[in-house]
């Protein structure tokens, strides 16, 4: 017969008994050997607050630990995930979506894309709306670059190349978020002009360094003899990304102008 606690009173004694309150099996420790649930306590407001705190604390700690390891060993993390160590690492798409959400929030709060002119601001808002996913164009560029140069290496399939691209792009977006953070506190037009100009230069260098490290780790490149393969993959990434950005910008202009005319 299935375990049915519906006719039992909710008392302190009920929760103190060595019985799994999920399936009814006898408990011999803190966890049920039948269903795996831990021994439960009666729900109180303190219990709810503790559960929320623990969930948030572990979520934040996992993200911080994942971000740090990805920053130093992006290719190794991607390879371990591909090779089956799924519990050890955060899902790449989960990390990417969190990073994209934070990036959009930081850009909005920092007024990084803003104008004093009302009509211009209307155009900017439309561009923001249509351009939210333009930050993911780098994934396409990374994937095409690695598939072109390293297609048969270690017998990775298309999806496994995509895992590497997603992890790498998360790191790139996370570093872009850090780069934008000063704009939340410095509300100066000259500073923002300087920042926008020079960010395009040094962040491109950062991107290339991250990808060079990731490709070397993921594909086990021997840099002394295979540096030219790495160089080709990086040049392909830069070229494809710029081409996609120009194409996306052209489409944004067309869509924005159509909306304004309407």
Q: What confidence category does residue 16 fall into, taking pLDDT thresholds of 50, 70 and 90? A: confident
The helix/strand/coil state of 142 is: helix
The total of other beta-carbon atoms located within 10 Å of residue 9's CB is 7
The helix/strand/coil state of 31 is: strand
Q: Across all residues in the chain, what is the average pLDDT?
A: 78
Specify whether the CB–CB gap between 166 and 139 falls below 8 A. yes
Specify whether the CB–CB gap between 252 and 127 falls below 8 A. yes
Question: What's the confidence (pLDDT) of residue 107?
Answer: 75
pLDDT in tens, 163-215: 999 999 999 998 988 888 888 888 777 877 787 778 888 888 999 999 999 99
Question: What's the confidence (pLDDT) of residue 257?
Answer: 60
Judge whether residue 233 has pLDDT over 90. Answer: yes
Q: What confidence category does residue 253 fall into, taking pLDDT thresholds of 50, 70 and 90? A: low
Judge whether residue 162 has pLDDT over 90. Answer: yes
The total of other beta-carbon atoms located within 10 Å of residue 172's CB is 21
Question: What's the confidence (pLDDT) of residue 250?
Answer: 74
Q: What confidence category does residue 56 fall into, taking pLDDT thresholds of 50, 70 and 90? A: low
* Residue that the structure tokens 């990434």 belong to: 237
State how far the Cα of 212 lies from the Cα of 63, in Å rounded to an integer. 23
Question: What's the confidence (pLDDT) of residue 61?
Answer: 63
Total count of residues recorded for the chain: 262
Report the pLDDT averaged over residues 27-43.
80
Rounded to whole angstroms, the maximal C-alpha distance in the chain is 74
Question: If phi over 0 gives left and psi between -120 and 50 gives alpha, with beta otherwise, what is residue 154?
Answer: left
């Amino acid at each position: 017969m299935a375990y049915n606690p519906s006719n039992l009173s909710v008392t302190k004694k009920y929760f103190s008994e060595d019985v799994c309150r999920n399936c009814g099996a006898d408990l011999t420790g803190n966890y049920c050997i039948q269903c795996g649930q831990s021994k439960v306590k009666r729900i109180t407001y303190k219990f709810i607050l503790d559960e929320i705190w623990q969930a948030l604390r572990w979520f934040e700690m996992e993200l911080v630990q994942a971000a740090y390891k990805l920053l130093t060993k992006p290719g190794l993390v991607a390879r371990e995930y591909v090779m089956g160590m799924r519990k050890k690492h955060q899902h790449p798409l989960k990390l990417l979506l969190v990073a994209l959400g934070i990036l959009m929030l930081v850009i909005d709060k920092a007024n990084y894309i803003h104008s004093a002119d009302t009509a211009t601001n209307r155009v900017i808002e439309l561009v923001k709306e249509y351009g939210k996913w333009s930050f993911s164009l780098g994934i396409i560029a990374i994937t095409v670059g690695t598939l072109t140069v390293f297609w048969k290496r270690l017998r990775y399939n298309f999806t496994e190349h995509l895992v590497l691209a997603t992890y790498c792009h998360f790191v790139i977006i996370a570093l872009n978020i850090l780069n934008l953070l000063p704009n939340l506190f410095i509300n100066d037009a000259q500073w923002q002009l300087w920042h926008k100009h020079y960010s395009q230069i040094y962040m491109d260098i950062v991107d290339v360094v991250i990808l060079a490290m990731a490709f070397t780790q993921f594909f086990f490149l021997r840099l002394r003899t295979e540096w030219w393969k790495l160089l080709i993959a990086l040049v392909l990434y830069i070229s494809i990304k710029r081409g996609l950005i120009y194409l996306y910008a052209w489409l944004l202009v067309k869509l924005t102008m159509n909306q304004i005319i309407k």
